[in-house]
Structure 1
Amino acid sequence: MIICHPQGSVLFPYWNYLGSFTGSGDPLELPQVSAAINAQELGKRTPHVPMFVYHAQSDELIPNAGTDRVVNQYCQDPNVSITYNREFLAEHISGIVGWLPKGCQFIIDRMNGVPAHTGCTIDSPYTTLTDGDFVDLIGKEWPQIAALVTGFPVGAR
């Protein structure tokens, strides 16, 4: 799951991620790390795992045109499983709230063995906050969502 830095800052304020590396040199230059980063580069290859993608259409820092292009590229393959939520009202920081319930529910479902749909689902709501599922998902799944965003295991055991 890719989470923007503000959430990491809330969970681990002032944490020096690269400074916590105990090996020698730059950890991003290790062959294993750079190979893993290159293999995960968005748009480089079509994903073979279900994806939930969220982007605020009014994001003032990262325009959503690039995300739209990558999703449209992926959706050319009929075998992909992409759920793309393009919330209109949110911007970069408030978008953190917008994706949380459905994005976490997506992951919780996969961890519980619920199969993802095949194909692409692209939704462009005005806002996710007035979506009837928002309050239900937060209320019903709060313990699982809290576990997910703090690094604890989720799903069937």
Structure 2
Amino acid sequence: MSVRRLVAGFLLVAASLVAPPGVAAAAAAPGDVLSARAVNAPGFFYANVWTITYQSTSATGSPITVSGTVIVPKGANANTPVVGYAPGTHGLGDQCAPSRHLEAGDETEGLLIHQYATRGFAVAVTDYEGIGTPGEHTYMAGRAEGHATLDAVRAALRLSGTGLSANTRVAIVGYSQGGHAAGWAAQLAPTYAPALNIAAYAVGAPPADLKVVADHNDGGDNAGLVLAAGYGIDVTYPDLDITPYLNDTGRAAITDIRDDCTDELQTKYSGRSMADYTTEDVLSRPEWSARVDEQKLGGTTPRAPVLLYHSNGDEILPVQVSVALRSAWCAGGGNVTFQRTYTGGHFATAALMSPSVTSWVGDRLAGRSTAGNC
């Protein structure tokens, strides 16, 4: 049995032990708050902030515990919208968790989160599966990311003391890995979280096709992200096992990588090829090829308006993955606003696009319509 299943089982047993005599304890549902702790997050003097754990669902359908942060501006009420914020890549280790960095005041995406919170929106930030909670981070597993993002919003709406209403408007936003998560949330929401009143999705530079992204980065400065994605997919699915296809260097790398944060992933493995770590092309194996293809965005069309944006100069995630995603979602009848920008590299685009993205999201949360540009 996996660590994640053991933890979920422990939580259910613990709940049954504290139930009143003669009353059966109810199993936690996705989005239920399992713990909450008020924190003093530097910079968020205008808001109440909680670090939480909440129930979610793995990519394979198992109950899991995920951590995150809920930021609610003081004076929030039933009309206060909620933004589900899916962070970009932070790494694989627990110490990389956005919730820990928000509490410490050194979160790299803090200014982007402030863009929403200072407008008066509550913000629910997920850590994703396996960062900050027991188990491995299922990096780039789309369903796990989408579930965790949607359940962070449900948890924020169920958290006591916020003043928020379950019926309030919701937006889901994210960039890079967060764009992948936001895109998956958009595809999963109608069946996984149909009660959420989702008004918009902002999907920035998503790694919408992992095979294209892996080929683009193999041997480059960001090869470590490819290795991390291979690790993340491997720990997601019990039917996969990458170890028989690793050489000695690969086995050492996989052992080392599991607690690395983004800066380590980018520096340790820069310039390396996957062939340096493997005895054969893992993606040529049918079981691996099929599982990697399952993470591809575009198979289901979002029902709420989507802002999809990506820079032509993105050095990590090639813009063609978003071009293809736009075509897929538009072909399905989606309301998509696609902005193919000239804003430079990957990280610069996140910052430069933030004001206009936040404004677009704010318009949707205010009830203003958009026709898209399909």
- Indicate the SS of the match to 1:48: coil
Decide whether the 8 Å contact of 1:47 with 1:74 is kept in 2: yes
1:62 pairs with one of 310, 317, 321? 317
Decide whether the 8 Å contact of 2:87 with 2:109 is kept in 1: no
What value does the CA root-mean-square deviation take over the aligned residues?
Answer: 3.4
- Indicate the SS of the match to 2:311: coil
Q: Specify every segment of 5 or more residues in structure 2 that has no aligned partner in the other structure, as ranges.
A: 1-84, 91-97, 99-106, 112-126, 148-180, 189-294
Offset from partner CA, 1:34-54 (integer Å, 9 cap, x none)? 783765562121111110011
1:86 pairs with one of 340, 364, 368? 340
Distance in 2 between the 1:109 and 1:62 partners? Answer: 28
Question: How far off is 1:99 after superposition?
Answer: 1.9
Decide whether the 8 Å contact of 2:312 with 2:319 is kept in 1: yes
2:355 pairs with one of 76, 85, 101? 101
Partner of 2:328: 73
**1:2 to 1:54, Cα distance in 2 relative to 1, 3 A:** farther
Offset from partner CA, 1:29-80 (integer Å, 9 cap, x none)? xxx9478376556212111111001100110111011110010111123x42
TM-score, structure 1 as length reference: 0.56
Paired AA for residue 60 in structure 1: E
- Indicate the SS of the match to 1:100: helix
Question: How far off is 1:106 after superposition?
Answer: 1.5
Structure with the largest fraction of strand: 2
**1:82 to 1:3, Cα distance in 2 relative to 1, 3 A:** farther
- Indicate the SS of the match to 1:85: strand
Q: Specify every segment of 5 or more residues in structure 1 that has no aligned partner in the other structure, as ranges.
A: 123-157
- Indicate the SS of the match to 1:86: strand
Distance in 2 between the 1:65 and 1:51 partners? Answer: 18
Distance in 1 between the 2:345 and 2:365 partners? Answer: 29
**1:57 to 1:105, Cα distance in 2 relative to 1, 3 A:** same
**1:27 to 1:56, Cα distance in 2 relative to 1, 3 A:** closer
1:20 pairs with one of 119, 132, 135? 132
Question: How far off is 1:89 after superposition?
Answer: 4.2
- Indicate the SS of the match to 2:301: coil
Decide whether the 8 Å contact of 1:51 with 1:82 is kept in 2: yes
TM-score, structure 2 as length reference: 0.26
Identity within the alignment, %: 17
Partner of 1:46: 301
Partner of 1:4: 88
Paired AA for residue 50 in structure 1: P
**1:73 to 1:96, Cα distance in 2 relative to 1, 3 A:** same
Decide whether the 8 Å contact of 1:27 with 1:33 is kept in 2: no
Partner of 2:367: 113
Aligned length: 111
Distance in 2 between the 1:27 and 1:96 partners? Answer: 23
Distance in 2 between the 1:80 and 1:33 partners? Answer: 23
Paired AA for residue 20 in structure 1: G
Offset from partner CA, 1:83-116 (integer Å, 9 cap, x none)? 1111124211111133212211121111111122
